Amino acid sequence: MYTPIMAAVLEDPGEPLLFRELLLDAPAGDEVLVRTEHVGLCHSDLHYLKGSLQITTPAVLGHEVVGIVQRVGPAVTRIKPGDRVVATVTPSCGGCRCCLRGRPTQCERVDAMRTRHRPKLLTPEGETVEALGGIGAFAEAFLVKEASVAAVGSSIPPHAACLLGCCVSTGVGAAIHGANIGPDDTVAVIGCGGVGISAIQGAKLAGARRVVAIDSAPAKLDLARIFGATDTVLAEPDAATTAMALEALIPGGVDHSIEAVGRSSTAELAFAILRPTGTATILGLMPAGEKLQIPADALVYGDRRIQGAYMGANRFLSDVDMFTDHYVTGRLLLEEMVTKRLPFDSINEGFQAMSEPSTIRVVLELSQSQS
C-alpha cells in the first residue's frame, strides 16, 4: 500500500528541485521504512542536480541520511521499529567474492539486491520516480533494504550522524581501507569539502606523520588544520605550481595522495605529487568517459600506483561502530563538519551555500520543514 509523502523532486537537471507529493510503497521482504530526520547535501547530489552526472527523471536525490525506522518487512532480522539508522548507497550481500574478500562496496549482487517487483516511488499520476542510490532521502521518508542501513546509537547527535552515511564513510574509509595508510606515511588530500576533511581525519586516525591539505580556497585550508592537517598548500590554477609547493614541504613527494574533488586535473595532480612507490587514491566522481593522462615513465620506473576507492572502500556495517567510538572519545570530529543547518524547504538555498568557501557540510532538518 502506497502512502503519500512530500519530497524534493528533480524534474529537469539544471533547475531547482520542486516539492511534490509522491507515493511511497510499504516495506516488503527485507525492506525497512525510515522517517527522515536529517540529510546532508553531498557533491554527488549536486552533480546530478546540475546534470554532470546522469539519472532518469523524475528522481529523488539524497543519500547521506539518518532517520527513525517506522516499519519493517517480514524478512528483516537485524533492524526494528524505533531504531535510529544511517544509510549507505552500497548495500552488500556478504556472500559474493568481493564481500568475502573484504570489499563490500564492490558487491557483485548490489543490483539484484535493489530490484523489487514494483516501484517504490510513484507520482500521484502513477509515473515511476527514481530514487538515487536506491535511497532517495530528500523526502519525509524513504524505503531501503535492511542491508542498506546500520543502527546508530544516541551518542551521536542526529544532525551529525547523517554524515556517517557518505562523506565520513568515504573519506575515513579511503584512508583506512582504501589506501591503508600507516604511521610511517606522508599524505596529501586534494579538496577540503566533506569527503576531503573526512579523509584528513582518517589519515590522522591511521597515524600518518604528515597530512597536507590542498585546496584553492584559503578558508578551507584554515578549517583543514582544525581537523588534523599538519600542513597546507594553496592550490594554483597551474598544477605544476601546486606540485612545486608540495615538493617544498615534502621533498620527493608523498606516500599517499587522496583526491576528493572529482576532476581529471586534480586526479592527475594526485599522481604527480607521489614519491616513488606512492599510491594515489581517487574518490571524486567524474562524468562517464572522462580520461586521465598519466606519465608512463613515472608509473613504471617509480612503481607508483593510481587506484579508485568507490565510497572509500568502506565496510559500512562495522565502520559505523568504529566511527561512533572515535566520535565519543573525541578523535573524530563530526558536529564541527556541519557548517550550516537549514530546514528541508530551504534545500535549494542549501545547494547554493555549498559553493561558499567556509562550507564543509550543509545539513537539512526535516523536523523544521514546512511542507
CATH number at residue 68: 3.90.180.10
Burial tier of 49 (Cβ tally within 10 Å: 0-12, 13-18, 19+):
buried
Question: Cell match 572515535: residue?
Answer: 326
Same domain, 272 and 154: no
Same domain, 91 and 200: no
**pLDDT one digit per residue (tens) for the chain, 371 residues:** 899 999 999 999 999 999 999 999 999 999 999 999 999 999 999 999 999 899 999 999 999 999 999 999 999 999 999 999 999 999 999 999 999 999 999 999 998 888 888 999 999 999 999 999 999 999 999 999 999 999 998 999 999 999 999 999 999 999 999 999 999 999 999 999 999 999 999 999 999 999 999 999 999 999 999 999 999 999 999 999 999 999 999 999 999 999 999 999 999 999 999 999 999 999 999 988 999 999 999 999 999 999 999 999 999 999 999 999 999 999 999 999 999 999 999 999 999 999 999 999 999 999 644 33
The grid cell for 14 is 539544471
The answer as to whether 186 is a domain residue is: yes
Distances (CA, A) of 357 to 46, 145, 223, 361: 16, 36, 10, 11
Confidence at residue 370, expressed as pLDDT on a 0 to 100 scale: 38
Q: What is the pTM of this model?
A: 0.95
CATH number at residue 270: 3.40.50.720
Same domain, 22 and 144: yes
- What is the C-alpha separation between 199 and 313, in angstroms, rounded? 12
The answer as to whether 171 is a domain residue is: no
The answer as to whether 324 is a domain residue is: no
The answer as to whether 323 is a domain residue is: no
- What is the C-alpha separation between 116 and 321, in angstroms, rounded? 29
Same domain, 104 and 13: yes
CA 359, distance to chain mean position in Å, is: 15
Same domain, 130 and 209: no
3-class secondary structure for the chain? CCEEEEEEEECCCCCCCEEEEEEECCCCCCEEEEEEEEEECCHHHHHHHHCCCCCCCCEECCCEEEEEEEEECCCCCCCCCCCEEEECCCCCCCCCHHHHCCCHHHCCCHHHHHCCCCCCEECCCCCECEEHHHCCCCECEEEEEHHHEEECCCCCCHHHHHHHHCHHHHHHHHHHHHCCCCCCCEEEEECCCHHHHHHHHHHHHCCCCEEEEEECCHHHHHHHHHCCCCEEEECCCCHHHHHHHHHHHCCCCEEEEEECCCCHHHHHHHHHCEEEEEEEEECCCCCCCCCCCCCHHHHHHCCCEEEECHHHHCCHHHHHHHHHHHHHCCCCCCHHHEEEEEEHHHHHHHHHHCCCCCCCEEEEEHHHCCC
Confidence at residue 51, expressed as pLDDT on a 0 to 100 scale: 92
Question: What are the residues whose beta carbons fall under 8 Å from the beta carbon of 184, sequence distance 6 or more?
Answer: 209, 255
Same domain, 129 and 193: no
The answer as to whether 316 is a domain residue is: no
Confidence at residue 112, expressed as pLDDT on a 0 to 100 scale: 87
Confidence at residue 113, expressed as pLDDT on a 0 to 100 scale: 86
Q: 198-229 burial by CB neighbour count: b if 16+ within 10 A, else e?
A: bbbbbbbbbebebbbbbbbbeebbbbbeebbb
- What is the C-alpha separation between 304 and 280, in angstroms, rounded? 8
How many distinct structural domains can be found in the chain?
2
The answer as to whether 318 is a domain residue is: no
- What is the C-alpha separation between 24 and 259, in angstroms, rounded? 37
Provide the Cα torsion 318, 34, 44, 348; round to 10°: -140
Same domain, 260 and 364: no
- In the chain, the amino acid numbered 251 is P
Same domain, 196 and 159: no
The answer as to whether 320 is a domain residue is: no
Same domain, 201 and 267: yes
The answer as to whether 48 is a domain residue is: yes
Same domain, 213 and 254: yes
Q: Give me the domain span that covers residue 250.
A: 177-309
Same domain, 103 and 193: no
Confidence at residue 371, expressed as pLDDT on a 0 to 100 scale: 34
Same domain, 36 and 95: yes
